[in-house]
Chains A and B, each alone.
Chain A
Amino acid sequence: MKLGKTLKLIICTLLIFNFQHSIFNPTHAQGLLGGHVTGNVQLDGQMSRADSVIGAEEVPERLLLNARADVLYTNGDFSAGLRLEMYQNPLLGFDSQWKGQGVANYFVKYSGERLTVTAGHFYEQFGSGMILRTYEDRYLGIDNALFGASVQYRPVDGVTLKALAGKQRHFWDYGPGLVRGVDAEVSLNSVVKPLSGSKLRATLGAGFVSKYEDDENIPVPGTENRLNLPLNVGAASLRADLGFGGWSLQTEYARKGQDPNAINGYIYRPGNALMLNLGYSTRGFSAGIQAKRIDNMGYKSMRSLSGEMLYINYLPAITKNHTYAFLAMYPYATQVNGEQGVQADVMYKFKKGTLLGGKYGTDLHLNSSLVTALDTTVIGGLGTDGYTAGTFSKGDFLYGDLSLEVAKKLSKTVKLTATYAYQVFNPVVEGHAPDLYHNHIVVADLSWKVSKKHALRFEAEWMGSDSRYDPEHGHDDRRAGDWVMGLVEWNIGTHWFLSLSDQYAYRDGTGNYYNLSCGYTRGATRFQLGYGKQREGLLCIGGVCRQVPASNGLTFSLTTSF
């Protein structure tokens, strides 16, 4: 802790010294010690009042604020940075443990030609992240940065060795587990001379991560026993990234040692995960197929913690990250205890002047994904191996979707994107009863560049679903039912925009969610003000989700960078 305070003091001194001077020399943002300072500021505010129809609750504070400022000082090979954060009080849906303010992240870094050393807070990823990925997502309210030291060394071109150790950030404190890791990545085209000019591109990698956590007393119910916990939990992975012409293949296999924890119900079964990504692309066409199997791979630096905090690893999502409102209404959250799935994605561009391409060409995008649970046989609970699982046999259906998107420029100023999607969603992934929802969704998105300074965008969405909102019989999901939505967005000149939208559950559902927002952008600064209703649901990014409660009121945000 003493070392942390000293480090923070050095960074603050450097930044203040340089930042003060850069204010008076804004042209170059040049500090007294040389180098330069850059940064960004973001402020998000929310006011919400009670609304029994949508389930919004009164906010006693009236005004909720999340704010942050990142400042980075760079001088040649040396850089240092810090981030101030404030949650007074946290926006709705953010864990109340975020409440507070202070310097949440600080580091010093040396980046030489062969060697990179970081002390303080840092983010790192080994391969696809299945054994280690620390990251920050301000919208999900996740920051699992490691606080410690990291070394990256490139002894020869094409070879990267990494070693790190530290503890993960947990709100305003650190998790109890000590995380250590090593990783090596070799580009065979750089190291093996005969491959240097080859069409075959090959990169191989391997990583190992170990977590140490003190013992704790976890009693076995109904006995006089407690769990004999492994204090060091290791996870290893092997990966390959191959390419030949337009073809590419990325694959990674990971294994995790015995790791009884709150997520898996304190079972001793080792974990494993396999990810495969095969793709082909050429001009106007690309296709990819992705397959993934996860078995007991939740890996945290605090074994007794559930929820989304303190994950050491990241298990990539295998479903498309949809952006349209109804397509994203039932997002799929990765099931770290076990799932398997495939995703196929095809994009094709009909050329200009062809029957389907017309005058400007037509883009076609087809995507489908299917995720099921593992086929497991339970052999015990806490303090046992938990279950056995068939290698590729299917368990319960969890999620499936098929979407077809057609984008066509109708004239020089008008572009239409039309989407149809069919989704089948099992709410068991959100902890509800396994009662499948079948949804048909249609979206029409029309952009019209009215003039050089004005543009309009119209969006219409419809969703038909067999789900019902019926709280008296236990169906309390406010997303249920059939919905329609309309949106108009007007970009006025280069600085202003105005947007009006409404989502309405017209059958078997509840709620009318209107929103009005406007914004002003000038240079790197953007201010946005909105008023309306927010539907409760899940916000998911890359398979990692945050519960968003309903709200009714004003929101505003300010972002700027320097």
Chain B
Amino acid sequence: MKKTISLLAAALLTLAACDSIETEEYTVYDGAPVSWSAAPAAPEAVQRAYVEKYTGPKCTNCPRADETLDAAHHQYGDRLVVVSINHPSGQGIPYPNEPDMRTDGGTAWDKYFGITFLPSAHLNRTELYSGDISAMIPIIGESIQNAPSAAIGVQATKEGSAVSITADIQLLQASAATLTLTAAIIEDSLVYKQDHYLEGRIDDYVHNHMLRKVITSHWGRDLPGGQTLLRGTLSFTPDADINLDNSHIVVFLSEKATRRVINCASCKIQ
């Protein structure tokens, strides 16, 4: 009897596993398109490190990761670009009446990389550190000493309610891999509740580097082939609750097949 019940339970679970999508939802907005042209000048050929930090307001040890990355920022300056991603479930669920920092793009990255533990930090999407992420700091130092395979620079300006972004790219090493350009907006100085490993729940914890939106498609837009010096331009209208004065634009180049980030840059919105 138990076996029959188990098989029937399996049947019910399987029967539930079928998605249905309404006609008007067959396609969804996939982020801003990128227009490509030749860049007038090469960007500064400097290698930067890109860190995706996975966090959540109910993760007591996440403030430790914030402290570690703040120290790293102090050490490496703008050679380190950090994007904090609010985990979609569990410790990532916001407290009631608190801002929800979960994003579609962040959730897609989180799921793709199989993030199950908070805090976690992903260096250039190649090395994942979970829990105590301090071991990553010297590796960041080593990674930014490498000669860049591509250089990238970014500028962002307000144009009415929209933000216009210009990313200049120079490919410095020949590669058969298809590269993609991803752009995101991150916001600093966001104040909302956060569990803390020493102080319990802090109501006015200051969150920095929070991913607010992936502006391009979640996995970026393909670079056109055959060009080594190019400019990508795009524009988007930020949501009203994003304070542009506290925000940065982050752009990064990654290999389409492996998702590995090869270089990145960030800038304030002018």
Contact = CB atoms under 8 A, between A and B. Distances in A.
Interface string B6-22: 01001101110111110
Contacts of A155: 3-4
B11 A228 contact: no
Interface stretch (A196-204, A209-217, A311-319): A209-217
Given A234-B17, A257-B18, A258-B19, A182 B7 contact: yes
Nearest to A256: B18
A110 to B, nearest CB: 13
A270 to B, nearest CB: 9
A153 interface: yes
B10 A182 contact: yes
B33 interface: yes
A181 B10 CA distance: 9
B30 A224 contact: yes
A385 interface: yes
Contacts of A384: 26
Given A214-B111, A217-B218, A182 B20 contact: no
Interface string A209-240: 11010110101100111111011111000000
B14 A180 contact: yes
Contact of B7 (A163, A215, A257): A163
B141 interface: no
A217 B17 contact: no
B205 interface: no
* Residue in B11, B25, B31, B218 with the greatest tally of chain A CB atoms within 10 Å: B11
B29 A210 contact: no
Interface residues of A, number: 36
B23 A385 contact: yes
Given A217-B219, A385-B23, A161 B14 contact: no
B220 to A, nearest CB: 9
A contact patch SS: strand
A163 B11 contact: yes
Interface in B124-141: none
Contacts of B29: 224-225
Contacts of B25: 228
Contacts of B18: 210, 230, 232-234, 257
Contacts of B14: 163, 180-182, 208-210
A232 B27 contact: no
Contacts of B11: 163, 182, 184, 208
B26 A227 contact: yes
Contacts of B33: 224
A232 B18 CA distance: 5
Contact of B27 (A151, A180, A226, A234): A226
A258 B21 contact: yes
B19 A115 contact: no
Given A180-B14, A224-B33, A115 B3 contact: yes
Contacts of A184: 11
B7 A153 contact: yes
A182 B15 CA distance: 9
Interface residues of B, number: 29
Nearest to B32: A224
A388 to B, nearest CB: 13
A449 to B, nearest CB: 55
Contacts of A209: 14
A163 B13 CA distance: 11
A330 interface: no
A383 interface: yes
A161 to B, nearest CB: 5
B5 to A, nearest CB: 10
Interface in B37-64: none
A228 to B, nearest CB: 5
A171 interface: no
Contacts of B240: none
A155 B18 CA distance: 28
Contacts of B108: 215
Nearest to A180: B14
* Residue in B4, B7, B112 with the greatest tally of chain A CB atoms within 10 Å: B7
A225 B27 contact: yes
Contact of A226 (B3, B23, B28): B28
B217 A208 contact: no
Contacts of B3: 115, 153, 155
A178 to B, nearest CB: 9
A122 interface: no
A181 B14 CA distance: 7
A227 B7 CA distance: 35
Interface string B163-176: 00000000000000
A217 B27 CA distance: 11
Given A155-B3, A217-B30, A385-B23, A226 B17 contact: no
Contacts of A214: 111-112
A226 B26 contact: no
A268 interface: yes
B150 to A, nearest CB: 21
A214 B217 CA distance: 16
Interface string B209-236: 0000000011100000000000000000
Given A210-B17, A219-B30, A233-B18, 16 more contacts: A151-B7, A153-B7, A163-B11, A182-B10, A208-B14, A219-B217, A224-B29, A228-B25, A228-B27, A228-B28, A231-B19, A234-B17, A234-B18, A257-B19, A258-B20, A385-B23
12 contacts: A161-B4, A163-B7, A163-B11, A182-B10, A210-B14, A215-B108, A215-B111, A219-B217, A220-B30, A257-B19, A268-B21, A268-B23
User: 9 closest Cβ contacts across the A-B interface?
Assistant: A234-B18, A226-B30, A210-B17, A230-B19, A225-B27, A182-B11, A163-B10, A232-B17, A228-B28
Interface of B: 3-4, 7, 10-11, 13-15, 17-21, 23, 25-33, 108, 111-112, 217-219
